[in-house]
Amino acid sequence: MTTASFETTEFRRTFRQETDDLLRTRLIWFISIWGGLGLIMTTVAIVMVMQGVDVSTIFSNGGQKAFFFLTTVVWFGAYLGSLLLVLSKRVHSQTIIYITMGLVMLDGVQGIGTRVMDMTGGPALAGFLLAHFIACCLFPWTVKQAIVPVVACLSASAFSHIVIESTGVGTTAFFTVASGAFALPGIFITGFKHSHRVQRATNKFLNQRYGMLRQELAYARQVHEALFPAPVAIGELCYAYRYEPMRQIGGDYLYTRMSDDGKCLSVVIVDVTGHGIPAALTVNRLHGEIDISFAENPDIGPGEMLCKLNKYVHLTLAKHSIYATAVCMRVNCETGKVEYASGGHPPAFIRGIDGSLEDLQPTTFVLGACAEPDFESGQIEIDFEPGDSLIAYTDGAIEARGLDGKMFQIDGLRRLLCSPVLPGAERGGQGQWAEKILEEVAAYRGGLPPDDDTLAIEIYRPLSSNDPSAFDEDAVSAGVDVAEVSAGS
């Protein structure tokens, strides 16, 4: 994972601020260390003069002495002025970079001038190279910034050798290359430090962003789950559901609307393509469309609702390659019927009181695949008697893979729903099938994490709306007629 992939505006701003703070602190250190050494050496020279030490061996003429004092004044002035600028905090980080390079190059210029004035027999750039090494160890330079002072001073030194001192080209090239070699350790240290600092800043930035993202996801999950309805366990019509997103939030959604008298229940299940945050954002948009449709027409049928959803997905989401499957249902206790329309959704099931299953196959295309004029909901109506359960789910249940890589499939779900009800189960197991489906799917995965969002819902008509003991297990085992069981209760 490269650093460039994280160079967002926020990261660059954070990194620049960190560099600015580090530069100010390290420049004060550099001025204290290198300037302090210079001050000590100058003080020693002044004391020597005051003690009557003969300095004629150092300054053979007045010009050399004037040059020494002039460069000393300029050197201390530059260091003192830089210190005052940094302490005033009126300069930006880029200006501080120029100041650091300028101070280091000042040592190089002073060394070259000393050599030209023939005031020393030693290496003219020794002081510069030492100052450059200290600067590379202290300053948060880049490799380019560390190279600039070296190139500038070596170029000036070569120029003075050839033009002013009439040194041969070969000798000049030798001293230039040798001086440059002494600067390489500092440049290497700069490169290592900069790379390490960028990596550390990147990790810190990512950790902060990850923490913020976790908090935002936790809040987003609260908002997302607030869209889901509360289960209903008492009344003539009840429902229970379980939802397991693949990540914190997902693209499966359940909408329910119960009539005031509790005898009619409208249900919409939507499964959006994709996972995670993008899918959840799409769900939020569809929730608004469903909410508006029921607000405008509380009696809207499943077929009409499915057509509205298809139109919305086709016009707003399909152009982004986002589609959805959905099943819309309306259960009516008074008529004993369930109306439903399914757009590419996996088959739902009606489980009878005797354990029989009836498939509710899709009635039309996936939502968004075709325009409004070509879309027919195919709404159908089917009996839904007391004791029946309507079980619907999203494809995460049937597409779950086991350790062998095979899918759970519809046949696996059908075998589960055809299994006998455990003795003693309330209402013959009604209200427990959604939980059983997710438990069975999790067991089939063998401990592996889910590959998709999974939602399962059971809508059921209890034989007795308030008294679970009214359910007769023996009657179910014997396959007695539902009406007889109801009468016996």
The domain segmentation of the chain, as residue ranges, is 3-211, 228-488
Dist. CA 112–CA 411, nearest whole Å: 89
CATH 3.40.630.30 is right for the domain spanning 228-488: no
Backbone phi, psi, residue 278, to 5°: -55, -45
Residue 125 tokens, joined:
């750039």
Query: Residues 2-18, buried b or exposed e (16+ Cβ, 10 A)?
Result: eeeebeeeebeeebeeb
Give 266-300 as a DSSP string. EEEEEEESS-HHHHHHHHHHHHHHHHHHHHH-TT-
Q: DSSP letters of 133-166?
A: HHHHHHS---HHHHHHHHHHHHHHHHHIIIIIS-
| H or E segment to which residue 172 belongs | helix 169-226
Q: How far apart are CA 342 and CA 340, in angstroms?
A: 7
CA distances (Å), origin 380, targets 48, 342, 372, 392: 110, 10, 19, 16
Tokens 């009516």 found at:
332
Tell which phi-psi region holds residue 235, choosing left (phi > 0), alpha (psi between -120 and 50) or beta.
Answer: left
Of 389, 440, 350, the C-alpha closest to 239 is 389
Average pLDDT of adjacent 10-residue blocks, the chain of 489 residues: 54 80 85 79 68 53 62 79 80 84 86 70 75 90 92 90 85 88 93 90 82 78 83 92 84 92 94 84 90 93 96 92 95 94 96 90 94 93 94 94 91 90 61 93 89 92 60 37 32
Establish how many alpha carbons lie within 13 A of residue 158's alpha carbon, considering only the half-sphere containing its beta carbon: 18
In this structure, which amino acid lies at residue 302? Answer: P
Instruction: Give dist(CA 165, CA 152) in Å, integer.
Output: 18
CB 471 within 8 A of CB 463: yes
Two tokens, residue 307:
């057509």
331 and 263 in contact (C-beta within 8 Å)?
Answer: no
Tokens 């003080």, located at residue: 43
Residues present in the chain in total: 489
454-460/389-393 β-pairing:
antiparallel
Task: Please name the residue that has the structure tokens 């498939």.
Answer: 359
Candidates 403, 395, 408, 418; CA nearest to 440 is: 408
Taking the complete model, does pTM exceed 0.75, yes or no? Answer: no
CA distances (Å), 447 to each of 143, 364, 401, 404, 440, in order? 50, 35, 11, 13, 11
Radius of gyration for the alpha carbons in the chain, expressed in angstroms and rounded: 41
How many CB atoms lie under 10 A from the CB of residue 45?
A: 15
